[in-house]
Amino acid sequence: MRISDEHMNEFIRLYEEKFGVKLEYQEAYDKASRLLRFVEIVESEGYKQS
């Protein structure tokens, strides 16, 4: 999955706002990718339980 630069910049901004740490692009991309994967897994598990 490709994350747009616009979304990455927003993720970096929000992360800095929340945690006070400005991430480098690659680190932010890694964290955002893992977060998206987590959400995909949680959503798919939720549908199975319904």
Instruction: For residue 39, name the pLDDT band (cuts at 50, 70, 90).
Output: very high
First and final C-alpha spacing in the chain: 26
Q: What local confidence, expressed as pLDDT, does residue 2 receive?
A: 87
Q: What local confidence, expressed as pLDDT, does residue 38 receive?
A: 94
Residues in the chain: 50
Whether the CB-CB separation of 25 and 9 falls below 8 Å is answered with no
1-37 confidence digits (pLDDT tens): 789 999 999 999 999 999 999 999 999 999 999 999 9
Instruction: For residue 46, name the pLDDT band (cuts at 50, 70, 90).
Output: confident
In the predicted model, is pLDDT for residue 50 greater than 60?
Answer: no
